[in-house]
Structure 1
Amino acid sequence: MLKKVPKPGEKRSRRAIIDHLKQDGPQDAGRLAERLGISAMAVRQHLYDLEAEGLVTHEAEARPPGTARGRPAKLWALTQAADRFFPDGHADLTVGLIDSMKQAFGEKGLEKLLAVRAREQVEAYKARIGKRRSLPAKLRALAAIRSDEGYMAEVEKTTGGYLLIENHCPVCSAAAACTSLCRSELEVFQQSLGGAVTVKRIDHILAGARRCAYLVTPKD
Structure 2
Amino acid sequence: MSNRNAVPAEKRSRRALIDSLKQDGPQDAASLARRLGVSAMAVRQHLYDLEAEGLVTHEAEARPAGPKKTGRPAKLWALTPAADRFFPDGHADFTVGLINSMKQVFGPEGLDKLLQLRAKEQTASYRARMDKQPSLPKKLQALAEIRTAEGYMAEVQKANGGYLLIENHCPVCSAAAACTGLCNMELEVFRKSLGRGFKVERSDHILAGARRCAYLVTRKD
TM bracket (short chain): 0.5 to 0.7
C-alpha deviation, 1:130, in angstroms: 3.0
Q: Secondary structure of the equivalent of 2:196?
A: coil
Q: Secondary structure at the match of 2:133?
A: coil
Change (3 A) 1:89 1:211: farther
Aligned residues with identical type, % of pairs: 66
Residue of structure 2 equivalent to 1:202: 203
**Pairing of 1:138-217 with structure 2 (within 5 A):** 138-217=139-218
Q: 1:209 to 1:85 in 2, by over 3 A?
A: farther
2:4 is equivalent to residue 3 of structure 1: no
Alignment of 1:120 with 2:159, yes or no, is: no
CA-atom RMSD, angstroms? 2.4
- State the match for 2:41 in structure 1: none
Letter in 2 for 1:3: A
How far apart, CA to CA, are the structure 2 residues paired with 1:177 and 1:185? Answer: 15
Q: 1:177 to 1:168 in 2, by over 3 A?
A: same
Is 1:131 aligned to residue 132 of structure 2? yes
Point out 4+ residue stretches in structure 1 off by more than 2 angstroms: 10-13, 82-86
Q: 2:127 is paired with a residue of what secondary structure?
A: helix
After superposition, give the CA deviation of every residue in 1:132-163 in whole Å (9 maximum; x if it has no partner). 23110110011011011110100001121000
| Larger of the two Rg values belongs to structure | 2
**CA distance in 1 between partners of 2:110 and 2:170 (Å):** 25
Measured in 2, the distance between the counterparts of 1:16 and 1:202 equals 29
Per-residue deviation at 1:129? 1.3
Match in the other structure for 1:24: none
8 Å CA contact 1:89–1:171 kept in 2: the answer is: no
Structure 1, residues 113-137: CA drift from partner, whole Å, max 9, x if none?
1011101111111012132231101
Shift in Å, 1:208 = 1.1
Query: Residue 9 of structure 2: SS of its match in structure 1?
Result: coil
Map Cα deviations across residues 151-206 of structure 1 (whole Å, 9 max, x no partner). 01000011210000001101000000000100010000000001111100011111
Separation in structure 2 between the aligned mates of residue 113 and residue 203 of structure 1, nearest angstrom:
26
**Separation in structure 2 between the aligned mates of residue 83 and residue 96 of structure 1, nearest angstrom:** 22
Q: Aligned AA for 2:204?
A: D
Q: For 2:202 and 2:219, how far apart are their aligned partners in 1?
A: 15
Counterpart-to-counterpart distance in 2, 1:192 and 1:89? 31
Please, which runs of 5 or more residues in structure 2 have no aligned partner? Answer: 1-5, 15-45, 56-82
1:109 aligns to 2:148 (yes or no): no
Structure 2 SS opposite 1:151:
coil
Q: Which whole-Å CA distance do the structure 2 matches of 1:150 and 1:202 have between them?
A: 20
Q: Work out the CA distance in 2 between the residues paired with 1:149 and 1:155.
A: 16
User: Which residue number corresponds to residue 3 of structure 2?
Assistant: none
Distance 1:103 1:144 in 2: 36
Q: Distance in 1 between matches of 2:191 and 2:98?
A: 27
User: What CA distance in whole angstroms lies between the structure 1 residues aligned with 2:212 and 2:150?
Assistant: 16
| 1:96 positional shift | 1.3
Q: Distance in 2 between matches of 1:207 and 1:107?
A: 23
Look up the equivalent residue of 1:158 and give its one-letter code.
Answer: A
TM-score, normalised via structure 1 length: 0.65
CA spacing shift, 1:83–1:172, aligned 2, 3 Å? farther
Bigger RCO (CA 8 Å, 6+ sep): 1
Given that 1:91 and 1:174 are in contact with CA atoms closer than 8 Å, whether structure 2 keeps it comes out as yes
* Residue type at the aligned position of 1:162: Y
1:188 corresponds to which letter in structure 2?
Answer: V
